[in-house]
Amino acid sequence: MKKTLLGAGFALTLFLSPFQQAFAAETTGELRKFDNVAHRGASGYAPENTIAAFDKALDMKADYIEIDVQRSKDGKLVIIHDTTVDRTTDGTGRVKDLTFEQLRNLDAGSFKGEQFAGEKIPSFEEVLDRYHGKIGILIEMKAPELYPGIEDEVAQQLKARNLDKPQNNKIIIQSFNFDTVKKMNDLLPKVPMGVLTSSTTHTTDQALKEFATYADYFNPSYGIVTKELVDKVHAHGMKISSWTVRSREAAQFLIDMKVDAIITDYPDYVDPRMGVK
- Which of the following is catalytic: 39, 132, 234, 236? 39
Nearest to 227 by CA among 269, 259, 264, 251: 259
Burial label, 130 (beta-carbon count in 10 A; 0-12, 13-18, 19+): middle
CA distance 225 to 236: 16
Neighbour tally for 132: CB within 10 Å: 17
CA distance 275 to 40: 18
- Rounded to 5 degrees, what are φ and ψ at 81? -85, -55
Q: List CB contacts of 25: < 8 A, sequence separation 6 or more.
A: 31
CA distance 53 to 39: 9
Q: Give residue 253's region: left, alpha or beta (phi > 0; psi -120 to 50).
A: alpha
* Displacement of CA 66 from its chain's centroid (Å): 3
**132 an active-site residue?**
no
- Rounded to 5 degrees, what are φ and ψ at 222? -65, -20
CA distance 250 to 227: 14
Does the CA dihedral 95-173-245-7 come out positive or negative? Answer: negative
**81 an active-site residue?**
yes
Active site members: 39, 81
